[in-house]
Chains A and B, each alone.
Chain A
């Protein structure tokens, strides 16, 4: 009665390596930005404006990725920008996830009146146009890190709530839930020990996706000047500044744009990669 099914080990997927690698690099840059950034990200030098990156003619030694129109080092600004992007991604992503997933889990598993209340609330909430909502909120709260995080949470918790509710509902119909009742487990215990582990892969995928979205939202808000004050470097702020001089100095726009793109992509791939690697259930 021995077969090899229990022995199959899956290789760590390429996408987990790539996305995890990029995000690790980003975390390290963010944490050690003051040590590794070659220049002060805020230091202006009008004589060194719009210097190209190192491989191009006319580049200035020490400014690897060139300078912007005020002569600030693009690489250093990107490293410091990673701090803000990651704080927003982690904090906003986690709070959104905890609030949305908890409500979704309760609604989907308990059904009945908790579900009616939560679902009605989600429906009403979603009737507001999200971007307008965010801009309004920040206008009221005033720009700043906290406002961005609150705006993201306020807009996106419904996504978690809806998806997790649906998933909890379909898991709740499985016989292993009835079997937990037969065994004498409480409703609440069943939710935590039987349903939650089965909804967790969905939650993790949503969470990493949400972190990517948070990075984008922060960039968009910087773009419309609603983010953190303009003197702390953000990727979104760099992109919006770079846009105005894209014909004379493309690097000011392109490097942060690529970084942003890779980061958002890595977050979404990380979720999928983690699922492939750590979910015991082969789908």
Chain B
């Protein structure tokens, strides 16, 4: 298993309710989630806004620390691991962010953005690795000399993907990575991601609002509602016969295009 997650709980302090003295009360955002993510699987995480999708993703990457429960990554319990210890493992789980304008340092060139994490993990042959990563996401190698603002939205998101895959991780979290793009670049970026996942044998967690995208890309789906897993299962089964009312409502609310028609 890539991930084994048991009774995962996570809460934030509620600053609006903070008394003048003493700590703020906490709001629980993830309310006891349990699921397994097998190696090589592509898991779609869906749910309404504020349901806790991003929080779950960030907990899986240990950008947030759970308040209870456990997260086991590839056999290692990382639930309360210290940052210093995590740092050595971080090469193995990577993330692609929603907004590439914000997730790419505007004052670094693309080459530096991709090479930065490689240097941190002491990998050699930086130039070759950067070139290879650019090739894999379909960007010209000369783009290494550009700044993020000199790229289009779709190109920027490809740089975000290149940065993640250059480390050769086992797992990638993609949090709403196409929601800022126009429809045709969305399709291109998603096709690219699908290919890379297959080629590199990645395990992927794909957070999205868009059920039609999930249906094409993912082999498992997890439906989240107010911090609770409503339903989890194989994509085909879940789309054919949703067991829960919430899932049915979610499916009905979004017009689904014919899945057999090719993207473009």
> What residues make up the interface of A, taking CB atoms closer than 8 Å to B?
1-2, 5-6, 174-176, 178-187, 193-194, 197-198, 279-282
Contacts and interface: CB of A to CB of B under 8 A. Distances in A.
A193 to B, nearest CB: 8
Given A176-B104, A198-B106, A184 B117 contact: yes
B120 A176 contact: no
**Complex A-B, nearest 4 residue pairs according to Cβ-Cβ distance, in ascending order:** A183-B117, A175-B103, A184-B90, A5-B150
A2 B150 CA distance: 11
Interface residues of B, number: 35
A195 to B, nearest CB: 9
Nearest to A187: B83
B140 interface: yes
Contacts of A185: 116, 120
B88 A176 contact: no
A247 to B, nearest CB: 55
14 contacts: A1-B155, A6-B150, A175-B97, A175-B99, A176-B102, A176-B106, A178-B103, A183-B117, A183-B163, A184-B91, A187-B83, A194-B105, A280-B106, A281-B147
B113 to A, nearest CB: 8
Contacts of A184: 86-88, 90-91, 117, 120-121
Contacts of A187: 83
B127 interface: no
Given A179-B95, A184-B87, A1 B140 contact: yes
B139 interface: yes
B139 A1 contact: yes
Contacts of B90: 182-184
Given A1-B139, A179-B95, 13 more contacts: A5-B151, A6-B147, A174-B103, A175-B99, A178-B103, A179-B163, A182-B61, A184-B88, A186-B87, A194-B105, A197-B107, A198-B105, A282-B149
Nearest to B154: A1
B247 interface: no
B258 to A, nearest CB: 30
Contacts, number: 75
A130 B147 CA distance: 42
B208 interface: no
Contacts of A194: 105
Interface in B116-169: 116-117, 120-121, 139-140, 145-147, 149-151, 155, 163, 167
A281 B116 contact: no
B140 A2 contact: yes
Contacts of B63: 178, 181-182
A6 B163 CA distance: 20
Contact of A198 (B88, B98, B107): B107
A176 B105 contact: yes
A280 B61 contact: no
Given A179-B95, A184-B121, A280 B107 contact: yes
Interface string B52-95: 00000000010100000000000000000001001110110011
Nearest to A199: B107
A178 B99 CA distance: 12
Contacts of B88: 184
- The interface centre, meaning the residue of B87, B103, B155 with most chain A CB atoms within 10 A of its CB, is B103
Given A181-B63, A183-B90, A197-B107, A174 B102 contact: yes
- The interface centre, meaning the residue of A181, A182, A193, A280 with most chain B CB atoms within 10 A of its CB, is A182
Contacts of B167: 183
Contacts of A176: 102-106
B135 to A, nearest CB: 13
A202 to B, nearest CB: 12
Contacts of B87: 184, 186
Contacts of A182: 61, 63, 90, 94-95
- The interface centre, meaning the residue of B105, B116, B117 with most chain A CB atoms within 10 A of its CB, is B105
B182 to A, nearest CB: 16
A92 to B, nearest CB: 28
Contacts of A281: 106-107, 147, 149
A5 B142 CA distance: 13
A1 B155 CA distance: 9
Contacts of B121: 184
